[in-house]
Every structure is written in structure tokens, then in C-alpha cells.
Amino acid sequence: MTNELEQGIGSWIAKLGIGLCLFGVSFESVAGDWPHWRGPFFNGSSDETNLPTSWSKSDNVAWTVDLPGPSAATPIVWGDKVFISTTDAGEQTLEAMALDRKSGKVLWQHKIADAFAKDRLSNYASPSPTTDGKTVVFFYGNGDLVAFDFSGQKLWARNLQTDYGDFAFLFTFSSSPTLIDGRLYMQVLQRDVPVGGRGRKDGPIESFLLALDATTGKTVWKQTRPTEAVAESHEAYSTPIPIFAEGRRELLIAGGDCLTGHALDTGKELWRWGTWNPKRFSHWRLVPSPVTGADVILVCAPKGAPVYAVRTGGSGVLDQSWVQWTSESHREVSSDVPTPLFYMGDFFILNDLRGMLSRVDPKTGKPKWTVSLPGRAKYEASPTGAGGRIYTVNFRGDVAVLDANTGETLANVPMGDGDEDRIRSSVAIAHGQLFVRTNKRLYAVAAKTP
């Protein structure tokens, strides 16, 4: 059974509000939840409808909440709860928050650490939280990993730097946790030597994957992931993405100049493809996460390089025959930062270096359309798809709404304040609402009730 078919069945089951186990994976969320950075299907899409096409800071806004500080984290939603990872700019702290989805009321807020940022381009609150409806887990770039129940009671806390050594990243580390069937999956793909005084000095520096028990926080398994990358090209800011296809349960990991698939139960590497960096450039850090659809896995090489579609079902070291297509002949199809969207049977790839969005056939890699996004500000937020539309946000907080069929811009809605910049949070969609985050506020936007 293909990944695309499973997603369709999962969507149908979610609409009925029933749980189903496909290959041992439970679809337990109620209709319309957004439990992970890339949504209910881990691909940026939602089956929500009746969403607004155009709005303003006041028109069609159900509620607005002032946030204590900036963060690139996307809100996640389960039922009537919205969970937010954020900074407090005044106190220079990291915070975890829960809001009431219907009113925006702050239900609880906890300080996680006295920390803020390592560089001026981002902060430690960039990873998005995740939930399974019972536990909500927050991760921060300083290594703090904290779990709460829905009432705000802390269940457990760990710091990955304390447990496994100082991170060896040139910039502030970010990778969102992934929660499946009671297990939490994390990746730390880092340099193999210290950089800028950062990185453990009491032993080897390894890139690794972790599986933790979501209830207790205890490590279930730890899997090292060696690569042939050089210097900064070891570093990845991507997120583990599951794939359930052809009767297999795998975790996809992109970074260190290669793409790998790992068994969910053990972490064992099942297959490996690469590289998109045959010349071993030393500065090719990776940001986009992998995304799957139509029996291929999409991985985006950085710095304006091509996108690669790798066929599913491989084993061992895969040669180039496993690459179904690359975008090399369509240079506008590339992504340095945003993770592509899989929606309506196609990939939507946002080229942040050129300010262009392409709808791409998953079988051939040929663009069905390519359009320039409105405005002059850069787009780094990953695109979201629902209701036949594509939503994406630029650095200034302008939300572009495009027709998924034609690429036509339907609206360009300014949501940021005049002095805001580097807004990167993707639009989340749940229960008929769009959740738009700027550096200062969270907006819940809904279509007007007839």
C-alpha cells in the first residue's frame, strides 16, 4: 500500500473520529488536529475545508494573543488546546505555553530555562512541539527536552547536551521532535569536531538518533549515524519524518550529505542514498526535512542545488538508479530552507532563494506551474496546503494565499508589525482555523459563519 493511499485512509478515518491501526500506526487524532510541525500527515497538508481566503488583523480573526518573544516554532493543536514554544525577550528565557483554542486564553505557561540564543539569526525556541493527545513535548536548541500532560503538569525533563555532550553546530541547533505510538524520535546531526569552542572534548563527537519513551523520557535506543560529510556539511536542522509504505515502518533522516531510512523499533539503518554533494563542499548544511508522496521521498540539496526524488522500498546502499528524478533541468525548483509540501497528489516546492513556488509532478519532476511569490521579503516558512489553497509567510509576516490548481495569488495579507523581520513560523491549520504566528503575536483566523 502506498504512502499516498495510507494518508487518504488516515484522513477519512480522522473525519469519522475513529482510531485505526495501519501497519501498527494509530490515527488517533480527532478531525482537524495539527499535532506535529508538518501536520497530521507529516507532509504540511490538512484535510480541513471552509478556510478563509482573505482576512486582516481584525477581519475574520477569532482571537489574538500577544507572545512574550520571537520564535520560528509552529503552533500545534489538539482538540481545544494550542501549544506554543516561545522565548521571553524581556526575561531572556525559554517558555512553554498552552492556550485555549476557542478563546486564546493562556491556560498555562512554564519557564524552561534561563537561555535565549547563540546567534543573532535565530533563537533556542525554533523547534516546534509535538503531541499525541496525552503528552506534549517541547524541545529547545540548548538541549532541553521537556514533557507535560495537558493540564501543564511536568512529566519529565532531560537535556541532550548534558546527557550526550555539547552540540557541535556553527549556528543555533534546531530540530523538531516527532512522536509516534508513544515513542519520541530526535536527531542530532552535528560536526565530528568542535567548532567555535562548541562540541564535546572528552570523547568522540557523533551524529545520532534517539528514541525515547514519551511517558518517562527514558532512552529506548540510540543509533549513531556516520557520514562522509566535511565540516559544516555534517550539520542538519531537519526533522525526522516517518514513512509507512509497502508494509514497512521507517524513520527518514536527511543530513550529512545523505538520506537514510531507519527501523522505528530499533533505529537500525535500513538503507542509505547519497550524495547530493559529490564534491564534498564543506559549507552545505541542510535545513529542509524530507517529505514523501506517490512512492518517492523528496530531499532538497542546499544553496540552490537540485531537489532529488528517491524511490521508496530500498535496502542497503542505494545507487543512482533509485533516483526517480532530479530538478537539475528546472533550476527554479530548489529549496535551501523551506520543507516542501505534498498535497493534492503533487509536491509544492518553495524556492526561498528566488522567491518562487512550483507545483511539481511527483512521478516526473516536471513543474505544472511556477510562480513568483508577492512582495520583496524572503520566504523561509514551509508552505501549508488545505482547502485547495497554499499558505506561506514571509519574513515581514505577509501571508500569501495561492490557488493550488493554478498558482494564482488569491490574497497577500500583512500580519506583521512594521518593525518585524525574520518571521519563519509556518501556518498551522486545525478545526476550521488558520494559526498565523508573527514574532509578537499569534492569530487564530477563521472563515465567517454564514
Tens digits of residue pLDDT in 223-232:
999 999 999 9
Q: What is the DSSP-derived secondary structure letter of residue 185?
A: E
Taking only the tens place, the pLDDT of each residue in 13-45 is 333 332 333 333 333 444 589 999 999 999 999
Grid cell for residue 217: 523520557
Query: Residue 264: which domain range?
Result: 3-446
Q: pLDDT tens for residues 374-391?
A: 999 999 999 999 999 999
Number of domains in the chain: 1
Report the distance separating Cα 252 and Cα 331, nearest Å: 25
User: According to the model, what pLDDT value does residue 245 have?
Assistant: 80
Query: In terms of pLDDT, which residue wins out, 314 or 121?
Result: 314
The CATH number that applies at residue 79 is 2.140.10.10
β-partners of residue 308 are 299, 326
Burial of 348 (0-12, 13-18, 19+ CB in 10 A): buried
Average pLDDT over all residues of the chain: 92
Euclidean distance between the first and the last CA atom of the chain, given in angstroms as a whole number: 40
Does 184 score more than 50 pLDDT? yes
- In this model, does residue 251 exceed pLDDT 70? yes
Residue 276 · residue 288 · CB < 8 Å: no
Q: What's the 3-state SS for 89-150?
A: CCCCEEEEEEEECCCCCEEEEEEEECCCCCCCCCCCCCCCCEECCCEEEEECCCCEEEEEEC
The DSSP code for 440 is S
What's the chain's Rg over C-alpha atoms? 20
